[in-house]
């Protein structure tokens, strides 16, 4: 003892190494073995669950398509004032022309149109329509004038050689960028850019570079000649070409949308998911006719709470009886509680449809008994009532099981003790038994509530229009409207709400108070 006390430094093991290090070494093998045991599941979950979900959720903020498809336009729009009441300048339209032709070649313009249509309706058809016409714009005027200077311009090989030259590329930046995108596309299609016909938009890009005066001092005589001739060229008003294709291109609102959603990441989906939108003046509420998600979120939360409440009311007495019966009988009854788990969810939900519909079992019985008039059969399905009934039934076991296992651990002697101390049956239950069963209620409620909030099949089948949940809307965006970004945003919010509620629950009740057995 006196040895170790005399030492000021760390405690040493018998062989002189610090005790901490030798302990860590001794435990390392153990840790590695534990890790190896969980590794298969961990990898499986990572690959099949966490990675896809992360990717999906990231879609709620990703917005690369605009800047990827319209890089030149986005660059030119920098100088355009988003509040402007006039359409952008010719330079923007010229850049847009180049981007659109390239997009049309790759069939990307329809996808871009769909994306922008989420923000402003009508853009999808506008892009589609313009895509069909953009190839026939009068820009061949530039092609003809440049080829007239030197027929070699017509040869793709000329272009390929020029674009391989560093000096030339420096003199013609727009042409170089456009050529690269064009060449990348051709290469991906398995075509040789040096042998493919040089399209009008490349000549337009070349003209724009020349007209900008970038190529005055270039060494290449062919480019120098073209640069010298360019100021005298007949020009094409590309803006009016677009206006001819569709007059909507002169509407500044279209360009506002493009500019607002031109960044790589956007909060647009999230704003949309809470019934807001981005306008030129910042964030504003959506038109009332388009507001739906906040209402759906509120309905989902409200109905999940009602379902959780009904599960507590129905499940508590059942769990109490189960916990207080002799174990033989309790086990038998437990099978009845678990029975629904062995039946398909779809079958159970459909059974409720049979029971609750207007020509269904319950209505028939009520009419037969004369309680309900045949002409006024109760509407119990395809509304909130139907969803609450069916989901309460389906989620009930998730409430009973944790309640039962908690109640089983409460000895009956507590109730007896309370009664012997003078408490009535009710006081004994409420003051002594109930507080001890609260952890079970907590566990059951968390389970039921979290399951309910994300439920999809049952509201889809019995919910009608008033009984659907936010998850039904998510499913719609994922599988029908294909607006994955919005679906992901709605899903992220749902996940956030659940985590937030979990956190609040932890603060109020304490998560260590939750017992599953």
Partner 1 sequence: MAVTSSNDTFVEFERVQKSYDGETLVVKDLNLEIPKGEFLTMLGPSGSGKTTCLMMLAGFETATHGEIKLDGRPINNIPPHKRGIGMVFQNYALFPHMTVAENLAFPLEVRKMSKSEREAKVKRALDMVQMGDFGGRRPAQLSGGQQQRIALARALVFEPELVLMDEPLGALDKQLREHMQFEITRLAHELGITTVYVTHDQTEALTMSDRVAVFNDGRIQQIDPPDTLYESPKNSFVAQFIGENNTLEGVVKEISGDHALVQLDGGELIDCKPVNVNEVGQRTKVSIRPERVEVNKDRLQDGAHLLKAEVREFIYMGDVFRTRISVAGNDDFIIKSRNAPDQIRLKPGEQIEIGWLPQDCRALDA
Element housing 170 (H / E): helix 166-171
Minimum CB distance to partner 1, residue 415 (Å)? 9
- Measured CA to CA, the distance from residue 221 to residue 244 in angstroms comes to 37
Tokens of 10: 């760390």
Tokens of 194: 């040096």
Our CB check for partner 1 shows the closer of 202 and 428 to be 428
Minimum CB distance to partner 1, residue 324 (Å)? 14
Minimum CB distance to partner 1, residue 510 (Å)? 13
Considering only 40, 221, 232, 435, the residue that binds partner 1 (CB under 8 A) is: 435
* Footprint of partner 1 on 404-433 (CB under 8 A): 411, 413-414, 416-425, 427-428, 431-432
Our CB check for partner 1 shows the closer of 252 and 402 to be 402
Minimum CB distance to partner 1, residue 370 (Å)? 43
Minimum CB distance to partner 1, residue 436 (Å)? 6
Nearest to 314 by CA among 429, 403, 427, 438: 403
Minimum CB distance to partner 1, residue 402 (Å)? 18
Checking phi first, is residue 56 left (phi over 0); if not, alpha (psi -120 to 50) or beta? alpha
- Measured CA to CA, the distance from residue 328 to residue 466 in angstroms comes to 44
Terminal Cα distance for the chain, rounded: 46
Q: How many residues sit in the footprint of partner 1 (CB under 8 A)?
A: 19
- Measured CA to CA, the distance from residue 132 to residue 122 in angstroms comes to 16
Our CB check for partner 1 shows the closer of 182 and 316 to be 316
Our CB check for partner 1 shows the closer of 38 and 421 to be 421
- Measured CA to CA, the distance from residue 40 to residue 60 in angstroms comes to 30
- Measured CA to CA, the distance from residue 87 to residue 90 in angstroms comes to 9
Our CB check for partner 1 shows the closer of 84 and 427 to be 427
Considering only 321, 436, 478, 484, the residue that binds partner 1 (CB under 8 A) is: 436
CB 490 within 8 A of CB 468: no
- Measured CA to CA, the distance from residue 380 to residue 378 in angstroms comes to 6
Minimum CB distance to partner 1, residue 317 (Å)? 21
Our CB check for partner 1 shows the closer of 302 and 414 to be 414
CB 428 within 8 A of CB 418: yes
Minimum CB distance to partner 1, residue 459 (Å)? 38
- One symbol per residue from 62 to 91: x for binding partner 1 (CB under 8 A), - otherwise; what is it? ------------------------------
Our CB check for partner 1 shows the closer of 10 and 411 to be 411
- Measured CA to CA, the distance from residue 310 to residue 409 in angstroms comes to 24
Q: Is there binding between residue 389 and partner 1 (CB under 8 A)?
A: no
Our CB check for partner 1 shows the closer of 432 and 489 to be 432
Our CB check for partner 1 shows the closer of 348 and 419 to be 419
**Pairing label, strands 276-279, 282-285:** antiparallel
Our CB check for partner 1 shows the closer of 166 and 328 to be 328
- Measured CA to CA, the distance from residue 309 to residue 469 in angstroms comes to 17
Element housing 285 (H / E): strand 282-285
Minimum CB distance to partner 1, residue 342 (Å)? 35
Our CB check for partner 1 shows the closer of 324 and 427 to be 427
CA distances (Å), origin 111, targets 26, 188, 205, 342:
58, 19, 24, 44
Minimum CB distance to partner 1, residue 508 (Å)? 16
Minimum CB distance to partner 1, residue 450 (Å)? 26
Minimum CB distance to partner 1, residue 433 (Å)? 10
Minimum CB distance to partner 1, residue 432 (Å)? 5
Nearby residues of 153 by Cβ (< 8 Å), 6 or more positions away: 146, 147, 159, 198, 203, 222, 226
Output Rg (C-alpha) for the chain, integer angstroms.
35
Give the helix ranges, DSSP H, for 166-215.
166-171, 173-188, 200-211
Our CB check for partner 1 shows the closer of 291 and 513 to be 513
Element housing 278 (H / E): strand 276-279
Our CB check for partner 1 shows the closer of 195 and 416 to be 416
- Measured CA to CA, the distance from residue 213 to residue 352 in angstroms comes to 76
CB 251 within 8 A of CB 140: no
Q: Residue 283 in 3-state DSSP? A: strand
- Hey, how many other C-beta atoms are within 10 angstroms of the C-beta on 68? 13
- Measured CA to CA, the distance from residue 514 to residue 448 in angstroms comes to 14
Where does this chain bind partner 1 (CB under 8 A)?
A: 411, 413-414, 416-425, 427-428, 431-432, 435-436
């Amino acid at each position: 003892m006196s040895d170790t006390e005399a030492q000021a430094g760390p405690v040493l093991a018998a062989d002189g190494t610090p005790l901490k290090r030798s302990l860590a070494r001794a435990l390392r093998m153990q840790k590695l073995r534990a890790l190896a045991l969980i590794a298969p599941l961990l990898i499986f979950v990572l690959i099949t669950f966490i990675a896809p979900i992360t990717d999906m959720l990231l879609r709620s903020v990703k917005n690369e398509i605009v800047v990827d498809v319209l890089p030149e336009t986005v660059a030119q729009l920098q100088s355009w004032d988003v509040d402007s009441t006039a359409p952008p300048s010719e330079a923007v339209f010229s850049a847009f022309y180049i981007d659109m032709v390239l997009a049309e070649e790759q069939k990307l313009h329809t996808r871009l149109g769909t994306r922008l249509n989420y923000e402003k309706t009508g853009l999808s058809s506008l892009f589609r329509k313009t895509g069909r016409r953009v190839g026939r714009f009068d820009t061949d005027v530039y092609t003809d004038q440049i080829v007239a200077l030197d027929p070699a311009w017509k040869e793709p090989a000329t272009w390929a050689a020029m674009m391989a030259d560093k000096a030339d590329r420096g003199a013609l930046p727009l042409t170089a960028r456009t050529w690269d995108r064009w060449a990348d596309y051709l290469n991906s299609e398995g075509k040789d850019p040096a042998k493919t016909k040089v399209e009008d938009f490349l000549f337009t890009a070349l003209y724009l570079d020349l007209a900008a005066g970038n190529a005055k001092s270039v060494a290449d005589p062919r480019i120098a000649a073209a640069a010298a001739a360019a100021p005298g060229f007949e020009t094409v008003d590309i803006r009016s070409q677009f206006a001819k294709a569709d007059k909507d291109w002169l509407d500044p609102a279209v360009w506002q949308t493009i500019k607002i959603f031109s960044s790589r990441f956007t909060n647009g989906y999230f704003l949309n998911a809470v019934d807001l939108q981005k306008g030129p003046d910042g964030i504003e509420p959506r038109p009332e006719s388009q507001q739906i998600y906040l209402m759906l979120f509120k309905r989902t939360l409200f109905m999940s709470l009602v379902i959780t409440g009904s599960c507590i009311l129905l499940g508590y007495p059942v769990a109490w009886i189960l916990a207080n019966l002799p174990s033989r009988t309790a086990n038998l009854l437990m099978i009845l509680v678990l029975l629904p788990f062995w039946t398909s969810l779809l079958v159970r939900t459909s059974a409720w449809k049979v029971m609750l519909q207007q020509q269904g079992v319950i209505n028939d019985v009520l009419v037969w008994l004369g309680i309900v008039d045949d002409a006024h059969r109760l509407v119990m399905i395809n509304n909130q009532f139907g969803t609450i009934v069916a989901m309460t039934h389906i989620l009930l076991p998730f409430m009973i099981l944790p309640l039962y296992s908690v109640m089983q651990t409460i000895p009956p002697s507590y109730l007896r003790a309370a009664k012997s101390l003078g408490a009535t049956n009710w006081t004994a239950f409420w003051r002594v038994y109930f507080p001890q069963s609260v952890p079970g209620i907590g566990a059951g409620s968390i389970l039921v509530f979290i399951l309910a909030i994300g439920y999809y099949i049952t509201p889809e089948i019995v919910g009608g229009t008033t009984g659907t949940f936010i998850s039904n809307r998510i499913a719609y965006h994922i599988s029908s409207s294909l607006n994955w970004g919005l679906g992901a945003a709605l899903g992220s919010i749902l996940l956030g709400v659940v985590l937030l509620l979990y956190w609040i629950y932890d603060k109020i009740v304490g998560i260590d108070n939750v017992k599953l057995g």
